[in-house]
Amino acid sequence: MTERFAAPTTIEAALRILASDDAARPVAGGTDLVVAARQGRKPLPASIVAIDRIVALARHDVVDGALVLGALVSHDWLAESSVVAAGWTALADGSAIVGSPATRSTGTIGGNLMNASPAADTTGPLVVLDASLTLVAADSSARSVAVADLATGPGRTVATRSELLTEIAVPAPAAGSGSAYVRLEYRRAMEIAVVGAAALVTLNGDGRVAAARIALTAVAPTIVRAPDAEAALVGAAADATTFRAAAEAAAAAARPIDDVRASADYRRAMLVVVVARTLAAAAARARGESIPIPASRWAAGQVV
């Protein structure tokens, strides 16, 4: 039960509250928080620090070629931004299928990251895009953490109780690159990925794969890279045969679980399909082809 509520308008004020109140927890859109409380999975914090009025956390810009996002940037903005769609397309793919339209307009990129779900739709894209984030403490000290290193398990991160995520920096992909995020889903709204994959593919002058990064969702306690699959791509032709081989390498290394949504065997089998489709979409974008956002909708009609 919530006993204390604060709505600071500056980062400094929010940090002072977090440092002085052991029970205080920052809340932005609160979409996951409310759902968990209603389902009885997790009670509301005793002390809520609403950070949605901190204007400094809502900025978005391109600085020295990198996309810089305040923690309060919404999924809706990310899905609709022509800038994100052009340079960081996988992030637009993931943002476009988070929850429902209401969820996307309220939910934030910072909240999605700090929720640390292994099925989060924006984390995989940020991992393959080599994004990092800034955590700030009450004494104004700040540290940079790779998005890939943030989560330590479901609902757990490396952030201390009194640190606040303030911004995410996403470097520009290399020339000749394309990215995509695809998930397996049972319905088109209010869905959680059964399995998902994000990919960044860079092609060289003759159309072969020069570099690749793959991240897998819902197949481990955290979102994970697939190094064997990435290695299988480098130097190979960017075609269906290569993508299938890489997808099989990703599935072989995955350690999914059985739960109410799918069995481990089903997840592993579907991972082959999802990774191959994601790579096909990313490579097509690297070639300059038009793959609509979200790529999951396009991928559903592809045979691999």
Report yes or no on 63 lying in a domain: yes
Q: Which domain CATH number covers 285?
A: 3.30.390.50
Q: Are residues 71 and 139 in the same domain?
A: yes
Report yes or no on 204 lying in a domain: yes
Contact 145/132 with Cβ under 8 angstroms? yes
Q: What is the pLDDT of residues 92-141, one digit of tens each?
A: 999 999 988 888 989 999 999 999 999 999 999 999 999 999 999 989 89
| Structural domain span for residue 122 | 58-170
* Residue 5 CB contacts under 8 Å (≥ 6 apart), including other chains: 47, 48, 50
Q: Are residues 156 and 236 in the same domain?
A: no
Residue count of the chain = 304
Q: What is the pLDDT of residues 197-247, one digit of tens each?
A: 999 999 999 999 999 999 999 999 999 999 999 999 999 999 999 999 999
Report yes or no on 212 lying in a domain: yes
The residue among 153, 170, 187 that closes a domain is 170
How high is the pLDDT of residue 184?
A: 87
Report yes or no on 150 lying in a domain: yes
Tell me: pLDDT of 35 over 80.
no
How high is the pLDDT of residue 101?
A: 83
- When pLDDT is cut at 50, 70 and 90, the band that residue 194 belongs to is confident
Report yes or no on 226 lying in a domain: yes
Q: Are residues 135 and 210 in the same domain?
A: no
The residue among 147, 170, 193 that closes a domain is 170
Report yes or no on 209 lying in a domain: yes
The residue among 113, 138, 170 that closes a domain is 170
Q: Are residues 187 and 294 in the same domain?
A: yes
Report yes or no on 263 lying in a domain: yes
* Total domain count, the chain: 2
How high is the pLDDT of residue 50?
A: 94
Report yes or no on 30 lying in a domain: no
Q: What is the pLDDT of residues 49-90, one digit of tens each?
A: 999 999 999 999 999 999 999 999 999 999 999 999 999 999
Q: Give alpha helix (H) positions in the chain.
A: 11-20, 31-38, 75-80, 82-87, 89-95, 101-106, 109-115, 123-128, 147-150, 227-233, 240-253, 264-286, 295-299
- Provide the 8-state DSSP code for 3: -
Pairing of strands 209-217, 151-153: unpaired
What is the residue whose two structure tokens read 């109780």? Answer: 161
Q: Are residues 295 and 182 in the same domain?
A: yes
Q: Are residues 261 and 186 in the same domain?
A: yes
Q: Which domain CATH number covers 88?
A: 3.30.465.10
CA atoms within 13 A on the CB side of 274: 26
Residue 92: how many other CB atoms lie within 10 Å? 27
Tell me: pLDDT of 278 over 70.
yes
Contact 64/22 with Cβ under 8 angstroms? no
- When pLDDT is cut at 50, 70 and 90, the band that residue 258 belongs to is confident
% of the chain beyond a pLDDT of 70: 93
Displacement of CA 241 from its chain's centroid (Å): 27
How high is the pLDDT of residue 40?
A: 67
Q: Are residues 145 and 183 in the same domain?
A: no
Q: Are residues 216 and 140 in the same domain?
A: no
Q: Are residues 164 and 210 in the same domain?
A: no
Q: Are residues 161 and 224 in the same domain?
A: no
3-class SS at 133? strand
